[in-house]
């Protein structure tokens, strides 16, 4: 993957206090007032969230927690770090390209989703509630970016949107409940996103087809959450194509559960 976005940007005017952005210049005897210093705030802001994400991934791999409930202390710590990052007012005024607030909010939604490992054991927990909220927000925010024609690399966008969509449908399936009212907009937005990608990029067709399968099959299952053998076999055939194209491990695990096993038989009150 190549990064095509500029590493930093220049303000239209000379930064009044360049040392705040370039701390390594603060010991210089004099500063050339005519120099337009690069604004590294967005760059450092993205570096911070990547550090947060990397720390979480390290803890998951170190403790072999993939697919398991995240320890409560780690979950609380990561969500606190994310909230502090989201509440940083440093770059609120930026509004250009991939540095605008909507893109940064979208990164926050995807990060929160990555912190929430959902399975049938914790499907009625606050963790699952956070995952559902983050999935809906990720689908809706990316659709807004797509309308503004501010689209990232298609491969990464398809994988992230598909993970959000599968998480949303997995929670609905495992909870054996109707589609929540607040999720309807997110489902519609994600459907449009994947349909547009599939129209412009043939490799995205399998992701669109799987999403359409989930959207048409899970809400119609009777009783809710109980899929027929034929329906699960249909998903299994789609899953083979998805794994050939590439799919996140967490996404694959959720789809395997849907097509291979049934959810818990009782509904949590």
CA–CA separation, 10 vs 12, rounded Å?
A: 6
pLDDT digits (tens, 9 = 90+) for 75-97: 889 989 999 998 877 666 555 66
More confident residue, 140 or 157: 140
Supply the pLDDT for residue 269: 42
* Angle between helices 205-217 and 229-245 in degrees, nearest 10: 160
Q: Which residue has the higher pLDDT, 256 or 44?
A: 256
Question: pLDDT tens digits for 214-234?
Answer: 999 999 888 888 888 888 999
Ramachandran assignment for 3, one of left (phi > 0), alpha (psi -120 to 50 degrees), beta (any other) = beta
Give residue 32's pLDDT band: very low, low, confident or very high (50, 70, 90).
low
Helix (H, G, I), strand (E, B) or coil at 224: coil
* Residue 2 confidence (pLDDT) above 70: no
Residue 40 contacts residue 25 (beta carbons within 8 Å): no
What pLDDT is stored for residue 200 in this prediction? 84
**Domain residue limits, the chain:** 37-260
Tens digits of residue pLDDT in 223-269: 888 888 888 999 999 999 999 989 988 999 999 999 886 554 554 44
Classified as helix, coil or strand, 10 is: strand
Do residues 213 and 259 touch, judged by C-beta distance below 8 A? no
Q: Does the pTM of the predicted model rise above 0.95?
A: no
Q: What is the mean pLDDT of residues 28-42?
A: 59
Contacts of 140 (CB under 8 A, 6+ apart): 185, 186, 189
Joined together, the tokens standing for residue 18 give 């360049």
Q: What's residue 60's pLDDT?
A: 78
The mean predicted confidence, pLDDT, of the chain is 80
What's the average model confidence in pLDDT over 111-130?
Answer: 90
**Residue 38 three-state SS:** strand
Whether 13 has a pLDDT exceeding 50, the answer reads: no
User: Distance between CA 250 and CA 147 in Å, rounded?
Assistant: 28
Banded model confidence at residue 39, pLDDT cuts 50, 70, 90: low
Work out the pLDDT band at 45, boundaries 50, 70, 90.
Answer: confident
**pLDDT score of 113:** 93
Mean pLDDT over 67-73 rounds to 74
């Amino acid at each position: 993957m190549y990064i095509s976005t500029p590493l930093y940007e220049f303000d239209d005017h000379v930064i009044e206090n360049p040392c705040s952005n370039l701390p390594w210049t603060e010991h210089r005897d004099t500063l050339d007032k005519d120099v337009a210093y690069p604004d590294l705030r967005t760059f450092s802001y993205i570096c911070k969230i990547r550090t947060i994400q990397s720390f979480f991934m390290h803890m998951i791999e170190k403790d072999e927690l993939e697919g398991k409930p995240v320890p409560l202390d780690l979950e609380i710590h990561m969500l606190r770090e994310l909230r502090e990052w989201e509440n940083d007012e440093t770059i609120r005024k930026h509004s250009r390209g991939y540095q605008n607030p909507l893109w940064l909010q979208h990164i926050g939604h995807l990060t929160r989703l990555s912190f929430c490992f959902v399975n049938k054991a914790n499907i009625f927990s606050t963790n699952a509630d956070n995952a559902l909220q983050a999935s809906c927000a990720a689908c809706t925010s990316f659709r807004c970016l797509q309308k503004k024609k501010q689209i990232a690399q298609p491969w990464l966008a398809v994988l992230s949107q598909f993970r959000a969509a599968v998480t949303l449908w997995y929670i609905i399936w495992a909870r054996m409940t109707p589609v929540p009212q607040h999720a309807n907009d997110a489902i519609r937005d994600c459907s449009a996103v994947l349909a547009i990608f599939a129209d412009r990029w043939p490799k995205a067709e399998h992701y669109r087809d799987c999403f359409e399968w989930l959207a048409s099959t899970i809400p119609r299952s009777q009783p809710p959450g109980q899929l027929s053998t034929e329906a699960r076999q249909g998903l299994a055939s789609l899953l083979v194509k998805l794994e050939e194209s590439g799919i996140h491990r967490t996404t694959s695990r959720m789809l395997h559960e849907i097509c291979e096993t049934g959810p818990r038989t009782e509904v949590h009150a």
